[in-house]
Structure formats: structure tokens, C-alpha cells
Amino acid sequence: MNGELTFSGFRRVDPYVGQQIKSMAADFFMRLKKSHRSLSHLHIHVKPVHRRTHNEKYELHARALADDLYKSEKVSYNPFSGTADLLEQLKAAMD
């Protein structure tokens, strides 16, 4: 893979959730790399906030380095749809 994909904050997240987010981000990175050749780095940070039993809220941040620095952030109760929305925001900012 040309370019770099990094993650942080995943030690505080359920391992299953973390693995699914990483897989989703890797697929997105490969698709985005095809349309934006200058993309060199994508960093995703996840932070659980307001932890309660069966009701966690996640704060998600993404940064992409291409011809410029692009940022996106999202707060969501569902980490999967939150990640998808976060990555779509990032793609829209890059287009």
C-alpha cells in the first residue's frame, strides 16, 4: 500500500469494534487513494466518551494528508455509522 494508515486510541475501545473500524478505514483508504493520488497519510483517532452500560458515545477524528491537510470529526453512539459518516465527511472535504 502506498501511503500510510495509522490509528490511535483503540486500546480503550472494545477489540471487536476496533477491528471493524480499522477494516472499514483500510477499505476507504484504498478507494480514496485511487481518486486522490497525492494522499499520503490517513490517521483515525477514536475516543470513548460518556461510558455507561450499553450506552457508549464515541468521539471520532480523522486527518488526511494529501496536497493539503484535511480534518473531520464526529460524535456518535454507533461507532460503525459514525466512522462511515466521518470518512464521508473527509472525502467531501477533499473533493
**What percentage of residues in the chain have a pLDDT greater than 70?**
95
Q: What is the pLDDT of residue 36?
A: 85
The string of pLDDT tens digits covering residues 22-48 is: 999 999 999 988 888 888 999 999 988
Residue whose entry in the numeric block shows the C-alpha cell 477514536: 46
Count of structural domains, the chain:
1
Q: Check: CB of residue 7 under 8 Å from CB of residue 69.
A: no
Question: By residue range, what is the domain housing residue 27?
Answer: 4-94
What is the residue type of 41?
Answer: H
Can you give the CATH number for the domain in which 59 is found? 3.30.160.100
Distance CA 12, CA 23 (A): 17
By the 10 Å C-beta count (0-12 exposed, 13-18 middle, 19+ buried), 66 is classed as: middle
Instruction: Output the pTM of the full model.
Output: 0.84
Distance CA 87, CA 22 (A): 12
